[in-house]
């Protein structure tokens, strides 16, 4: 497909998304396949991650253009620390470089960046870069970009339990007051809607410790496309399929 044909297809799909309506308020993405993409192109894995950043940038753009309210990207999990030191170092450097490079455009486009995860576990240089982006984009009202960074779903749930137990011990909360809303308020994603649609690239059929509580009634969309090749056209196709589904939330 030529660039012109691809642009025409994108415009057609964007029109279809708008025509169908029912755009998900919150889309979450497990960005999988950078390493396999690099292997397929005989490139170092750092080039795969750099290509993944470019895919993330185009996804932010199309999410804003199609009316998605919140986009959560699984940026770095707590399990990712188990990777080789060289790969982790490359990922951290890419994180801070991307933050500094993209902050002005994000602010201009009305994108507000927030983080779900333990920022205190991130190296100081990267933490300062992310905190700067959060501050600079605080006024964004077109899209919330939620970076799941140093994030784990089980770890998030354990943290919420600990925080609630502490409040009970301090007399700030009675045990019989604990309900789903109280629990949600202690999650990293407090204040954000649960994801309507979760996209996973590279064909893997697992949730990988991502938004375990929040995804109770989320629709899943899995594609064999590796993340660096997941573009605006593919994002629109995911939204179109989502719009055709019936969400019953346990009811008939």
Q: CA 102 to CA 213: how far, in whole Å?
A: 31
Integer Cα distance of 138 and 112 in angstroms? 5
Catalytic residue of the set 3, 34, 80, 104: 80
3-state DSSP percent of the chain in helix, strand and coil, to 5: 50, 15, 35
Q: Give CA–CA dist 144/95, Å, rounded.
A: 18
Question: How many whole angstroms separate alpha carbon 207 and alpha carbon 200?
Answer: 8
Is 22 among the catalytic positions? no
Q: Which of 3, 22, 32, 194 is catalytic?
A: 32
Location of structure tokens 């609630």: 164
Q: Which helix (H) or strand (E) holds 125?
A: helix 124-136
Report the alpha-carbon distance of residue 156 to residue 85 in Å, rounded: 24
Q: Which residues pair with 114 in a beta bridge?
A: 146
104 catalytic residue (yes or no): no
- What H or E segment, with its residue span, contains residue 113? strand 111-116
Q: Which residues are catalytic?
A: 32, 80
């Amino acid at each position: 497909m030529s660039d012109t044909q691809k642009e025409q297809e994108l415009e057609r799909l964007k029109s279809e998304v708008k025509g169908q309506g029912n755009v998900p308020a919150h889309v979450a993405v497990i960005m999988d396949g950078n390493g396999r993409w690099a292997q397929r192109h005989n490139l170092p894995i750092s080039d795969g991650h750099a290509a993944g950043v470019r895919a993330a940038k185009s996804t932010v753009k199309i999410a804003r253009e199609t009316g998605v309210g919140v986009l959560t990207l699984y940026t770095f999990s707590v399990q990712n620390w188990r990777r080789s030191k060289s790969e982790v170092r490359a990922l951290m450097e890419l994180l801070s470089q991307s933050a500094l490079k993209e902050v002005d455009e994000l602010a201009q486009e009305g994108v507000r960046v927030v983080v779900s995860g333990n920022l205190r576990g991130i190296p100081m240089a990267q933490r300062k870069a992310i905190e700067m982006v959060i501050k600079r984009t605080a006024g964004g009202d077109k899209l919330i970009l939620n970076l799941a960074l140093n994030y784990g779903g089980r770890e998030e749930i354990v943290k919420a339990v600990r925080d609630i137990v502490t409040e009970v011990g301090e007399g700030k909360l009675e045990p019989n007051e604990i309900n789903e809303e109280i629990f949600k308020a202690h999650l990293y994603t407090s204040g954000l809607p649960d994801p309507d649609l979760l996209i996973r690239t590279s064909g893997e059929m697992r949730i990988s410790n991502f938004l375990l509580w929040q995804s109770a009634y989320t629709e899943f969309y899995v594609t064999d496309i590796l993340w660096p090749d997941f573009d605006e056209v593919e994002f629109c196709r995911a939204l179109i399929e989502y719009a055709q589904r019936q969400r019953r939330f346990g009811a008939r």
